[in-house]
Amino acid sequence: MSEKMWGGRFAAGTDSLVEAFTASILVDSRLYAEDIRGSQAHARMLGRVGVLTASEVEAIVSGLQQVGQEIAEQRLPFVDSLEDIHMHVESRLTEIIGDVGKKLHTGRSRNDQVATDLRLYTRACVDDLVAALRHLQGVFVDLAEREVETILPGLTHMQVAQPVSFGHHCMAYVEMFQRDAQRLLDARKRVNVLPLGAAALAGTTFPIDRWDVARQLGFDAVAENSLDAVSDRDFVMEVLADLAMIAVHLSRLCEELILWMSAPFGFIDLPDSFCTGSSIMPQKKNPDVAEIIRGKSGRVVGDLVAMLVLMKGQPLTYNRDNQEDKETFFDALDQVRASIEIMSRMLPGLQTRPAVMRAQAERGYATATDLADYLVRKGLPFRDAHAVVGKAVRLAQDRNIGLEAMPLPDLQALSPLITEEVYQVLTLEGSLAARNHLGGTAPDQVRAAIARARARLAEEQTA
């Protein structure tokens, strides 16, 4: 006969290859603390409703505490024959306290048990990720404050467009990661629903109190439908989608860091401790950390796609396919969390090269739009102003000079509306000062945006 806890119906044991193939303990062992906590709450509830005696509850709760300690100290060996973390915990509990341990599973199934464990684990990871994102936002705010006066050539289509404060550019990532944190917090509401009590799929005949367990474990609600409770993995897919978005934002940032550090740009230098060299070229300093984070973004997006495909063909209710949900989910959590942490450590050591940035901004006729706006303020329709400035740029290109170096008579030949004051907007500083919309690109507006961001972060951390 099979020696499995579920083996009463089977006349033969499980093939060893099948045991190894179907075992999930190497993946779901990280849920041990949640499994212990959920089981203790379940046992206490069974005691309150009279299914277990007070002494049985005490034995189970204290025995589970010992099991958790053994796992934490790596004193409990994991074996394929026990399949998953739930069976390891129950088996060891029964060894410690005897047959009373076999009563723990009354009124529940591994189906609602694993769903509860995974929700508890996901909730904790979401909270940790939000805190990590808040810290990364703070790093960007600090960097922005340090580089308020640094002029960066803003790009569209990878061509010089208009000058911006480097601090203003940093604040764009503060907003990206703000949305990421908000998405995670919104997803947390749907994570924080208790499935325990659904049992295998149709509930239990025992008089359980699901709200008692929910209060013990900090859940805001209990699942309304038992079929959905055990088969729902929307919360995993939703958080995975949020992780993929974070990974995309990190990848965009890394792409900029990699470009800016390259010799054709030369805008920044990253700290040596976050770069590597070449095995053959002695001069190389490679931004490998940024490249690896950029690469991991594809992996995280792949984890999301894998989870979506895993769920798309499953009928109600629980199917063993869902054993595969945790490996991709844990991978995405691990990669994104590590990427956020390493980015938070690397960015404070970033050094800018303001002279190089300024030279590139001047070279790219970054104040051309300001000249067009100047002409519009003088009464010229924008399309006509656009044409005038286009001719001015072409003339400056032919002479290999910047717009600010164009003689006034030559500019007036293109439009009599141009006067001496035009040179105030043709400088990079004049261009920055002229714009103050959406937080502004001028230093004063950037500082104001930084102050608002600091206040917002402080309020959110307190909340």
What average pLDDT score do residues 124-139 get? 98
Model confidence at 10, pLDDT cuts 50, 70, 90, reads confident
pLDDT tens per residue across span 37-88: 999 999 999 999 999 999 999 999 999 999 999 999 999 999 999 999 999 9
Q: Which of 157, 273, 279, 437 is catalytic?
A: 157
CA angle 206, 210, 216 (to 5 degrees): 130
Q: Could you tell me if 373 and 434 are in contact, meaning their C-beta atoms sit under 8 angstroms apart?
A: yes
pLDDT at 20: 80
- Using an 8 Å Cβ cutoff, are 193 and 219 in contact? yes
Tell me: pLDDT of 159 over 90. Answer: yes
CB-based contacts of 22: which residues, under 8 Å, 6+ apart? 83, 320, 323
Give residue 439's pLDDT.
67
The DSSP symbol for 203 reads -
pTM: 0.94
The alpha-helical segments, DSSP class H, found in 23-109 are 25-28, 32-48, 54-72, 85-97
pLDDT single digits (tens) 242-270: 999 999 999 999 999 999 999 999 999 99
Reported as a pLDDT band with limits 50, 70 and 90, residue 1 is very low
Question: Would you call 168 a catalytic residue per the annotation?
Answer: no
Q: Which of 2, 16, 55, 278 is catalytic?
A: 278
Peptide bond preceding 276: is omega within 30 degrees of 0, i.e. cis?
no
Return the pLDDT at 6: 61
What is the model's pLDDT at position 434? 82
CB-based contact 329:236 (threshold 8 Å): yes
| Annotation marks residue 157 as catalytic | yes
- Once rounded to an integer, what is the mean pLDDT over residues 219-239? 98
